[in-house]
Amino acid sequence: MANPASTRIADLKPGDGYVQSFARGLQVIRSFSASAPRQTLTEVAQRSGLSRAGARRILLTLESLGYVRSEGKLFSLTPRILDLGFAYLSSMPIWDLAEPVMEKLVEQVKESCSAAVLDDTDIVYVLRVPTHKIMSISLGVGSRLPAYCTSMGRMLLSALPQAELMECLERSERTARTKYTAVDVKEIAARIAQVRKQGWSLVNQELEEGLVSMAAPITNRAGQMVAALNISGQANRTSAKTMQETMLPQLLAAAQAISRMLSVQRS
């Protein structure tokens, strides 16, 4: 199955501001995932939307640079690929600042804590401090989830101008992941409007059965939302009502603390 992002890249045309070979290299890298960590040449070509010859040239180039290794007919990424992500993380001191605050929050509420940024219709995890495993989905730095049905996603989407928000929701692949998931654009937009009004977000079992999560905004010196912070728990242990009543103050305080440090760091 081709990566959705690769489809958007394939629609672009070469030009002064677009290097096709570089874009294709990124398509090949992104064809690898937790569900496809080792692939044959044919699989890479299919998932990246390239010809076998094109995929082979890129794989051999990545292998010569140390980003890919081959074992017989199977290719896989090497740990060096993390350099690309860490370059982004290291350029953003917010994550160095956020981690101790998140660790303290986890100690207080005894629930997992994550930070994420918005990337088109998805959120991308940039930091995570887990407690118990509460999701069937394995999450870590770089993991992506749909924004429309996640607490951090709705928090981040609430910062978009209304027209941009609606366009983003229309493009989202909205599926009923559980019986609680809102998939109608107007209904999701209404829930995001409430998030914008109250300044925090709560999603009750829309992403996964039994998972409750709550998010707060992280802002920069200009007051712009640059990330979201959340805590997640199990509904059978911590109901949505209990989470809101007992953990929201700590979550908001942690997000505000990170925002203040970020403001000072950037001044």
Task: Express each pLDDT in 238-254 by its tens digit.
Answer: 889 999 999 999 999 99
pLDDT reported for residue 17: 66
Write phi, then psi, for 90 (nearest 5 degrees). -70, -20
Q: Determine the average pLDDT of the residues in 22-39.
A: 91
For residue 169, CA distances in Å to 127, 154, 188 come to 25, 11, 8
Q: Which pLDDT band, with edges at 50, 70 and 90, does 8 fall under?
A: very low
Give the pLDDT confidence of 187-229 residue by residue, as tens digits.
999 999 999 999 999 999 999 999 999 999 999 888 999 999 9
Alpha carbon distance, N-terminus to C-terminus of the chain: 45
Q: Which pairs from 64-71 meet CB under 8 Å and 24+ separation?
A: 67/29, 71/38
Contact 195, 201 (CB under 8 A): yes
pLDDT score recorded for residue 6: 43
pLDDT of 101 > 50? The answer is: yes
pLDDT of residue 213: 95
Sign of the Cα torsion 22, 28, 33, 37 reads negative
Read off the pLDDT band of 3 (50, 70, 90).
very low
CA–CA dist 90, 57 (Å, integer): 30
